[in-house]
Amino acid sequence: MLLLGIATAYYYMQLPDQVSTIVDARARGSVTMLDRDGNVFAWRGEQFGGMIDAETVSPHLVNAVVATEDRRFYRHLGVSPRGIASAIRINLREGRGPLSGHGGSTITQQVAKLMCLGVAYDPDEWATEAEYETDCRETSIWRKIQEVPFALAMEFRYTKDEILSVYLNRAYLGAGARGFEAAAQRYFSASAAEVNPQQSAMLAGLLVAPSYYAPTRNLERAQERANVVLNLMEEQGYLSAAEADAARANPARLSEAAEQNIGGHFADWIMAEGPDFLTRETTEDVVIRTTFDPEMQAAAERALQNVFENQVRAGSEAQAAIVVMSADGAVRAIVGGRDTQGAGLFNRATQAMRQTGSAFKPFVYATALDLGWRFDDMILDAPLTIDVPGSGPYSPTNYTGEYYGEVTLTDALRTSLNTPAVRIADEVGLDLVRTVASEFGIESDLAAGPALALGASESTLIEMTGAFAGILNGGSAVRPYAVQELRLLGDDTPMFEQRTGIRERVISEFAARQLTYMMSEVVASGTGRRAALPDRPVAGKTGTTQAARDAWFLGFTADYVAGVWMGYDDNTPLSGVTGGGLPAEIWRQTMEEIHRDLPPRPLPMIDPVAEARQAPQVVEEQPQGRRPDLAEQILMEVLGGLLGRN
């Protein structure tokens, strides 16, 4: 008893006078993301909704926690020998070790564990915060012994409500929510002061296994667990039979924001692109207002799911990705793969480097048009061999294996002919093509040889979509962006604001308008016909790489730009898929829904009739007979000069 008294006194002296200094257990902060309308759509890090206490939260929540975790909480001195003995008996009966499974800990002992017996997290001592917390949760005889004097010290230092307040603030409740205020906001978009009996029961039910019972993971399982808690509340007199029946008949449901559970890839991209000290490693609570549009995200996800369910063979492991953005680079939706739930998944829209194939050709034509070539200029489509120093002869062929002689630039792009693209790139200069593509936002390493023109280089879908946005906005480069405003929680003044991603001009507006017309012909009557929308013009470009390892469709209306990629993660060739096939179909279904309530608008492109070259003046033929001799020609010129004719 003497040792117990000394240990209790030691811990008592270590505890701070005010519980407000120990309610927030987090070593790192959180990131809350808002969509373009200001509604929460994603959380990262550990949320802390702000300090709450047992006197101001919903009484149903206090009752649910006490009924579930420690029915004798207000009657013991921090330790329950009866509870520990009962837990050991249950564990042994179920074939576990005496301290494995049921712990028999009081709420006070659980607070002692949450506080790691007063040992604060030290990043110099622990590799990660997770390792520190794992050690704190260690269930050993020695740790149980240590919990006893610490719990007694807390009982002497604080009131019961203060101890319960620490518990309500520090308990982890799944989905990144630390404390009941954060959990109530995360799951129900409500304050912990407002939750009803069924919501309180669901929150209290998380304490036993937060990740397993999280309603965002399995709502039905969370509701079943909540019913167990409601039964306990009824048994212990916290709810009447009628109240308990009513709660069970109307189980808690997720809020609309929590239920949607969309935008995981979008949120992951923000976390990856932002500065570490304000995202992944923030020690502050950060609020980010983004360009995200949940309706566009849902439309893209539905389109992808529909195509794979109805037009792709069952069991296929092919993947796809989608990016939707405005002409100024404001990203509205990102689908990084067929699995759209959860966080931390591989994002094929922003992380996968894939060959672009013919989707790269617009940048070849953009270079030529900016140098003065025209949409109706002629280019030869015929067999071609270029000697590449160090590599030998390079002989591109068309997809069909046929050649069409002299064709216009528009027709060459419309039907995605290969040899004209290589000829043009060779004539304008590969270095200049690389420069134009790079300035449009394709930052990856670009191929050095003539195969550059046919998309031998790799890029990400978001880079390519941003580059096409530059064509739509009239030839100015675009940097895709998602963050409109970033501020610290509680601050009214933003630390960062952005309203556009438009950067410097790359090609002239007239060149961009010609290119847009040429790309509209790709959709109207070329390789991208499957992407056509019924009520408005579309410009775009298909792309299929060698052996069909990658298939692309990128395009735009007057309002939005979207890109779709399809392929296998391991580079297995696609079977019967080209960029003008399923990717164009996914693109069309996505954009049809996005544009449903938008009035049609014309594309910013030339009128090909008005811009067509004037027909050369017809010279009258000489009458049949003798041609005038040289003397007569000279005399006619002199007379013409005298008469003022020119």
> Where in the sequence numbering do the catalytic residues fall?
69, 358
How many CB atoms neighbour CB 476 within 10 A? 23
First CA to last CA distance, the chain: 124
Residue 412 backbone phi and psi in degrees, to 5: -65, -40
Number of H helices, E strands in the chain: 24, 18
Six token digits for residue 122 = 């030290």
Q: Is 429 left (phi over 0), alpha (psi -120 to 50) or beta?
A: left
Compute, in degrees rounded to 10, the torsion defined by CA atoms 67, 69, 72, 77: -150
Alpha helix stretches (DSSP H) within 460-576: 461-472, 509-525
Using CA atoms, how far residue 597 sits from 523, 535, 555, 593, 594, in Å, is 22, 11, 19, 8, 8
Task: Indicate the SS3 state at residue 443.
Answer: coil
d(Cα 440, Cα 434) in Å, to the nearest integer? 10
Q: Are strands 286-290 and 30-34 parallel, antiparallel or unpaired?
A: parallel
Task: Indicate the SS3 state at residue 567.
Answer: strand
Task: Indicate the SS3 state at residue 396.
Answer: coil
DSSP structural state of residue 646? -
DSSP structural state of residue 416? T
Task: Indicate the SS3 state at residue 387.
Answer: strand
d(Cα 257, Cα 552) in Å, to the nearest integer? 32
135 closest CA partner among 113, 153, 107: 113
d(Cα 325, Cα 535) in Å, to the nearest integer? 20
How many CB atoms neighbour CB 208 within 10 A? 14
Question: Are 323 and 269 spatial neighbours (Cβ–Cβ below 8 Å)?
Answer: no
Six token digits for residue 552 = 């692309």
d(Cα 525, Cα 530) in Å, to the nearest integer? 10
